[in-house]
Structure 1
Amino acid sequence: MTDDAAVQDDHEVEDVAGLEAQGDAAADYIEALLDICDLDGDIDIDVQNGRPYVSVSADDPLALRLLNKAETVSALQELSRLAVQSKTGSFSRLILDIGGSRDARKQELTVLVERAIARIEDGAAQAALPPMSSYERKIVHDVVADRGFSSHSVGEASDRHTVITRA
């Protein structure tokens, strides 16, 4: 192994350790929130695609029903990111999943993409989707590419959305 490769491996280990530390900080924040709300939940921490990923689950699916709505998860994710930044001093691209909310949203986005592709197959030149977060747009881009179509993001800030076209 060359010295450059060894240095790169050391940086990757440090990066993973830093991401795990961010996950730990977010998990501490979410655990405190669950305690305040008197909710039971199991917290899992992982690193996926270069991001800390914190998942909250419960034996009783109804236990987290107040927290797993898309808007609530997004708000809690932002608060968790702030808690991580406060604790570690680092900006975090943390992903928070509560009660399977991310999988449910991916399914919703897949249906949205399928409808948009159907419009294109029926003759439309392109199909624009509603504004969504960068994480959601990434999911859309992946689903669109898997279907053999092309997509790009358009707009600024809260108006940023995805446009789908033929490849």
Structure 2
Amino acid sequence: MKQVTASGQTTTDAVQTALEQLNTTEDQVSIEIIDEGKKGMFGIFGAKRAIVKVTIKEDPIEEATAYLKQIARQFSEDVSVTVKQSNKSVSFDLSGEKIAMIIGKRGQTLNALQHLVQVMLNRKANDHYRIVVDAEGYRKRRQDTLEQLANRLADKAIKIKKHVTLEPMPSYERKIIHSILSNNSKIETYSDGAEPHRHVVIKPVD
């Protein structure tokens, strides 16, 4: 956190001095007036300088990026993070030689990283952000796998005329399954169980 305490004949002068030291503009800082100062008699006798504390506002996206890098580099020192933001949606894409370790089995480690960054970012930010932590296109590959799995197990449920239960998945993956099978009139889907073991059930329609 960069901050400067500065003084001046007026609070305006003190703030301007601080901004010059920080090499920034007023819209990028928060200002705390420590002492408004006093002009004194004839502007000289008993005069007291104004004192302010000026702090550069922290960027929650930058903080989240640094936080993600710090954790990811426990797995691999060469990890890099590319950030893309669109309104309140932010994507972090990881890349590196040991990316498989960061993804983990069925993306479990990547999902854990996404959860941690989501919590951290929304604690720091005034607004609610929706984030995705990806690793060299893993999310798209996983979605393709889920589509194939959903359709195959839906066919199985119809064929054996019994409920088919999928493995536990995070909520956004369950949503993918529900969405893929929503137009299949021969089956219904619903989620069952408690986190972290909540899963999708495919039910054939009588």
Shorter-normalised TM range = 0.5 to 0.7
Q: Distance in 1 between matches of 2:196 and 2:77?
A: 33
Percent identical among aligned pairs is 22
- Whether the 8 Å contact between 1:52 and 1:94 is mirrored in structure 2 is yes
CA contact (8 A) 1:151 1:165 kept: yes
Higher helix proportion, which one? 1
The verdict on how the C-alpha distance between 1:88 and 1:139 changes in structure 2, with shifts beyond 3 A counting, is same
Q: Kindly tell me: are residues 105 and 155 of structure 1, through their superposed partners in 2, closer, same or farther at Cα, counting changes over 3 Å?
A: same
Point out where structure 1 has 5 or more consecutive residues left out of the alignment.
1-20
Q: 1:53 to 1:165 in 2, by over 3 A?
A: farther
Point out the structure with max Rg over C-alpha: 2
Question: Are the aligned partners of 2:90 and 2:129 in contact in 1 as well (CA < 8 Å)?
Answer: no
Which fold has the larger relative contact order, with Cα–Cα distance below 8 Å and residues 6 or more apart in sequence?
A: 1
119, 122, 126: which one aligns with 1:82: 119
RMSD: 3.0
Secondary structure, aligned partner of 1:150: strand
Q: Which residue of 2 aligns with 1:99?
A: 136
How far off its partner does 1:40 sit? 4.0
Look up the equivalent residue of 1:115 and give its one-letter code. R
| Structure 2: gaps (5+ residues) | 1-58
Q: Return the offset for 1:124.
A: 1.9
Show the counterpart of 1:46.
85
Q: Which has the higher strand share?
A: 2
| Separation (CA, whole Å) in 2 of partners of 1:138 and 1:144 | 10
- 1:159 alignment partner in structure 2: 197
Q: Deviations over 1:10-40 (max 9, x none)?
A: xxxxxxxxxxx76554323223445664224
CA positional deviation for 1:116 = 0.9
Deviation at 1:134, TM superposition (A): 0.7
| Count of residue correspondences | 143
CA drift of 1:166 comes to 4.2
The verdict on how the C-alpha distance between 1:54 and 1:119 changes in structure 2, with shifts beyond 3 A counting, is same
| Paired position in structure 1 for 2:23 | none
Counterpart of 2:102 in structure 1 is 67
The residue correspondences of 1:22-61 to structure 2 (distance < 5 A) are 23-33=61-71, 37-47=76-86, 52-58=89-95
How far did residue 63 of structure 1 move? 4.7
Q: Does the alignment pair 1:134 with 2:190?
A: no
Structure-2-length-normalised TM-score: 0.56
> Secondary structure of 1:106's partner?
helix
The AA in structure 2 aligned to 1:43 is T
Q: Which amino acid aligns with 1:46?
A: Q
Counterpart of 2:188 in structure 1 is: 150
Check the 8 A contact 1:127/1:164 in 2, yes or no.
Answer: yes
